[in-house]
């Protein structure tokens, strides 16, 4: 057998053109989504930058909390980067792969709200010898993660009937887990890019090497809604449990504080009024 290397570059010769086409379609159809995602990332980035160098003294978090401002920065960095990664995957035509990260994003959002609202919970999570066991005890066991989020919403959003939200969360968890577990519907449907116009008009192009798809509307809108929810909830927690309301002179804090309600308004308007 010949050991001469084969030149397979011709199989990838169309890749630059496909990338350019995906970006062109995405910038045309997802313009509002891209702008809002960047806006949310910037507003939360204000909190992340403010806490980035606070290793020895808590200014945003309570001085008695078993976490530091810098560790809060690390949590926010992970969350914001996951959010941006979903956007980048969608606009480059990798919707199925983005959906795997949506499942991660949802869990990170709920975990962060729980961890920074409960001193006892954070301490147990941070000091555990086994991260897997700590995750199970705090979040996975008997679906504690949803029960704790339900309690936080009743407290900070004044929601009395959260059963419907609980049902939707469980459905979303199962739906977005399909991409992680390689469910047949996820594999088959994800191999095709859906058209932006009438489905009957097509084309249903292969997503090999990436292809923008109208399916990404759902992926992006879900992620935007979840992050807008996080923006409001984390603000309530930081004011109640921590020291956000005591910080007066900070452009970085104000970047978040002055835009958080605008974010939820923009998200609701985009998700509920845009039709695709």
pLDDT tens digits along 85-114: 999 999 999 999 999 999 999 999 999 999
Q: If you average pLDDT over residues 154-168, what whole number do you get? A: 81
CA distance 13 to 190: 23
* C-alpha span between 241 and 156 (Å, rounded): 11
Residue 178 located in a structural domain: yes
* Exposure string for 21-59, b = 16+ CB within 10 A, e = fewer: bbeebbeebbeebbebbebbbebbbbbbbbbbebeeebb
Q: Which pLDDT band, with edges at 50, 70 and 90, does 200 fall under?
A: confident
Task: Establish if 148 belongs to a structural domain.
Answer: yes
Higher pLDDT, 255 or 8: 255
More confident residue, 15 or 115: 115
**Residue 56 pLDDT grade (very low, low, confident, very high; cuts 50, 70, 90):** confident
Helix 31-51, helix 260-273: angle, nearest 10: 160
Q: What's the mean per-residue pLDDT of the chain? A: 91
pLDDT grade, residue 1 (50/70/90)? very low
Residue 124 counted as domain residue: yes
Asked whether the predicted pLDDT for residue 141 surpasses 80, the reply is: no
Residue 239 tokens read as 């004011």
Say yes or no to pLDDT of 142 above 70.
no
The average pLDDT across 45-69 equals: 93
Asked if the structure places residue 7 within a domain, the reply is: no
Q: Which residues contact 22 (CB under 8 A, 6 or more apart)?
A: 91, 92, 93, 210, 211, 212
Which pLDDT belongs to residue 216?
96
State how far the Cα of 107 lies from the Cα of 38, in Å rounded to an integer: 21
Determine the Cα–Cα distance for residues 23 and 94; give it in Å rounded to an integer.
Answer: 11
Residue 4, pLDDT above cutoff 70: no
Would you say residue 209 lies in a domain?
A: yes
- 8 within domain boundaries: no
Total of domains in the chain: 1
* pLDDT of 95: 95
Q: Does the pLDDT at position 201 exceed 80? A: no
- Is residue 107 within 8 A of residue 78, CB to CB? The reply is no
**3 in a domain, yes or no?**
no
Measured distance CA(122)–CA(55) in Å, rounded = 17
How confident is the model over 141-168, as a mean pLDDT?
84
Burial per residue of 91-128, b for 16 or more beta-carbon CB atoms within 10 angstroms, e otherwise: bbbbbbbbbbbbbbbbbbbbbbbbbbbbeebbeebeee
Residue 10 lies in a domain: no
User: Could you tell me the residue range of the domain that residue 119 belongs to?
Assistant: 15-273
């Amino acid at each position: 057998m010949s050991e001469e290397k084969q030149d397979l570059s011709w199989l990838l010769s169309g890749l630059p053109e496909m990338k350019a086409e995906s970006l062109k379609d995405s910038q045309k159809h997802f313009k509002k989504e891209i702008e809002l995602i960047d806006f949310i990332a910037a507003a939360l980035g204000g909190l992340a930058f403010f806490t980035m160098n606070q290793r020895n003294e808590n200014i945003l978090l309570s001085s008695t909390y078993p976490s530091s401002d810098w560790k809060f920065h690390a949590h926010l960095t992970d969350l914001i980067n996951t959010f941006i990664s979903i956007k980048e995957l969608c606009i480059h035509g990798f919707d199925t792969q983005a959906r795997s990260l949506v499942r991660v994003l949802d869990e990170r959002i709920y975990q962060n709200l729980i961890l920074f609202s409960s001193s006892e919970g954070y301490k147990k999570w941070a000091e555990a010898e086994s991260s897997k066991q700590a995750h199970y005890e705090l979040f996975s066991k008997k679906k504690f993660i949803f029960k704790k989020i339900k309690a936080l919403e009743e407290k900070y959003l004044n929601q009395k009937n959260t059963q419907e939200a609980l049902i939707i969360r469980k459905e979303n968890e199962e739906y977005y887990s399909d991409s992680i577990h390689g469910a047949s519907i996820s594999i088959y449907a994800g191999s095709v890019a859906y058209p932006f116009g009438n489905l009957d008009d097509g084309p249903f192009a292969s997503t090999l090497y990436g292809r923008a798809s109208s399916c990404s509307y759902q992926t992006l809108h879900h992620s935007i809604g979840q992050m807008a929810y996080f923006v409001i909830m984390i603000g309530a927690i930081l004011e109640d449990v921590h020291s956000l309301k005591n910080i007066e002179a900070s452009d970085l804090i104000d970047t978040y504080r002055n835009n958080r309600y605008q974010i939820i308004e923009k998200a609701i308007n985009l998700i509920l009024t845009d039709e695709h």
